[in-house]
Structure 1
Amino acid sequence: MASSQFDRALLHPRHWPTWIGFGVWFVIAQLPYRWQMAMARVLAPLLHLNKKRVKMARTNLQLCFPQKNAAEIEQLLEANLQSTAMAVFETGIGYFWSKPRLRKLFSITGLEHIEQAKTEGQGALLLSLHFTTLDIGSAMLGVCVNYDGMYSPHKNKVFDYVQKVRREAYVKEGIAISRDNVRAMVAQLRKGRMIWYAPDRDLGPKVSVFVPFFGVPAATVTATAQFARMGRAQIIPFSQYRRADGTGYDVVIHPPFENYPSGDELADARRVNEFVEQEILKAPEQYLWAQPRFKTRPEGAAKVY
C-alpha cells in the first residue's frame, strides 16, 4: 500500500494558517524536553477556557471514581489538565524528533512478546488506549517495533495529511490505516503484521455492546475480537507512562491475551475494558478523560453530558 500522496490543493491559501501552525509547532518541538514541559505548565490553566471539555472530564471522573469526594475529583481534574497540556508538546516531539533523540527519553520492556508472535508467524493487534501520551507513546514504540497503525481521519485536510504522514514516519515500513478500512486491517494481520489499535472510544450502538467501564455501562466496540478472529491474530497490549520525576517515559509491552477471542461477545468486550481500567489506575491523571466515553446510553438511561 502506497504512502500518503501530497495533493497540491493543500497549498491553497485557505490552508496557509494550518501550515503556519505546523511550522510553529515544529520549531517549538525542537526545544529541550524540559523547556517544553515547563511551557505545558503555563498552558494548562488556559484549558479551562474549553468549558465543554472540562465539564465532560469532570463528569467522567465523577462517574468512574464515585468513592472520591469533590475536592479529590477537582485535584485529579487539575492533574489531568496538566497532563493534557503536556500532550500538546509530546505530540510535537513524537511527530518531529529524530529516532536517536527520542530513544533517549524512554525505556521499553516486553519486546519478547512481539518477537514470539513473529516467530510463530502471527500478526497481532497492539492494544493501546487513549492516554494523553498516545502519540509520543506510538512514536516511542515505533523506534523498537515494526508496526502499522489504525487512525481516525481528521476533517481538516492539511491536519489529516500531516497526521498520517508523521504517524507513518514512526515506522519505516509502517502505514496508517483508516479505522473504516476493515479489509486492509485484516489483510495486514494475515500477513503477520503488528497493528496499533485503541478500542476505548464510544463509536455508537451499531458497533458496540454495553459492558461495565469502572462500573458504568459503556458502549464498547466488538471489533477487537472480530479483528483478532478474522485476522487470525493475537492481542498484545502495550502501555506508556509518563514518569512522575519528569525524566521521560516507560513503555511496557504486556503478555498476549490468552483464549481470546472466546466467542462470547460480551465477555470479550468486558476483557478489553478490564485491561483499560487496570492501566488507567496506574496513572489516572494521564488518561484522556475529556472524551465522551459515555455518550451512548442504554435504553431508558439518562444522558450524562
Structure 2
Amino acid sequence: MVTPVSIRAAITIVAALPILVVYPFGLGKLALRFMKRRAKIVHRNLELCFPEMSEQERRKMVVKNFESVGMGLMETGMAWFWPDRRIARWTEVIGMEHIRDVQAQKRGILLVGIHFLTLELGARQFGMQEPGIGVYRPNDNPLIDWLQTWGRLRS
C-alpha cells in the first residue's frame, strides 16, 4: 500500500543520489506509460494548437513533454528533500540585490512567477535566502497534498 511514509522514503532515496545519476532516471517515460489519460490530454492539446503538425511530430512532442515532466519530478524531489547546502551548490538566485534594495526602503514586495517545472527548486532556493509566503491550490489527492505541503514548508 502506498502511504506518505513510503512515498517520502522513495523520494528521499532518489534525491540522495548524485544529480548526474538522477536526471537520466527516465521518470518521464515511466509517467508517460502510466499516465495514459494525461498523455491523451497533451496529445489533444497539441492537435488543437498545432493542426499543421504531423502525427509523428506530435508524438515526439508528447514524449519530450513527459521527459520534461520527469525532470520536474526529480527537481521537486531535490527541492523537498535535499539539505540546504546541496541546494545552494546547484542553484543560484540572480538579482537578489533588487529585492534587498526594496526591503531597505521598507516597501512591500509581490513576486509573481510562472508555473514552470523548476518552480519548486527556485522557491526553495529563494526561501533559503529570504522569508516569504507562497500560495497554491491544494492537490485533489490527499496523499500528494500532504507530501507537497510537507516539502514546501522546509524553507
Q: TM-score range, shorter-chain basis?
A: 0.7 to 0.9
Query: What percent identity do the matched residue pairs reach?
Result: 29
Deviation sequence 1:116-172 (CA, Å, 0-9, x none): 3313323223212222222122212223332111122234445433422321212xx
Three-state SS of the structure 2 residue aligned to 1:163 is helix
RMSD: 2.5
**Greater relative contact order (Cα 8 A, min sep 6): structure 1 or 2?**
2
Residue segments in structure 1 that go unaligned for 5+ positions in a row: 1-13, 171-305
Do the aligned residues in 1 keep the contact of 2:75 with 2:118 (CA within 8 Å)? yes
Residue in 1 that maps onto 2:23: 37
CA distance in 1, matches of 2:47, 2:58: 7
TM-score, reference length from structure 2: 0.81
Residue in 1 that maps onto 2:58: 73
The residue correspondences of 1:1-305 to structure 2 (distance < 5 A) are 17-39=3-25, 41=26, 43-46=27-30, 47-65=32-50, 68-170=53-155
Q: Could you tell me how far 1:53 is from its partner in structure 2?
A: 0.8
Do the aligned residues in 2 keep the contact of 1:139 with 1:167 (CA within 8 Å)? yes
Residue in 2 that maps onto 1:274: none
TM-score, reference length from structure 1: 0.45
Cα distance change of structure 1 residues 27 and 118 upon mapping to structure 2, 3 Å threshold: same
Cα distance change of structure 1 residues 121 and 63 upon mapping to structure 2, 3 Å threshold: farther
Three-state SS of the structure 2 residue aligned to 1:151 is coil
Give the letter aligned to residue 20 of structure 2. R
Q: Could you tell me how far 1:68 is from its partner in structure 2?
A: 4.7
Task: Answer with 1 or 2: which has the greater Rg.
Answer: 1
Do the aligned residues in 2 keep the contact of 1:19 with 1:158 (CA within 8 Å)? no
CA distance in 2, matches of 1:67, 1:121: 52
Three-state SS of the structure 1 residue aligned to 2:10 is helix
Q: Could you tell me how far 1:73 is from its partner in structure 2?
A: 3.3
Residue in 2 that maps onto 1:229: none
CA distance in 2, matches of 1:24, 1:82: 20
Cα distance change of structure 1 residues 79 and 101 upon mapping to structure 2, 3 Å threshold: same
The answer to which structure has the higher strand fraction is 1
Do the aligned residues in 1 keep the contact of 2:3 with 2:143 (CA within 8 Å)? no
Give the letter aligned to residue 75 of structure 1. K
Three-state SS of the structure 1 residue aligned to 2:92 is strand
Do the aligned residues in 2 keep the contact of 1:94 with 1:135 (CA within 8 Å)? yes
Three-state SS of the structure 2 residue aligned to 1:37 is helix
Q: How many residues align?
A: 154
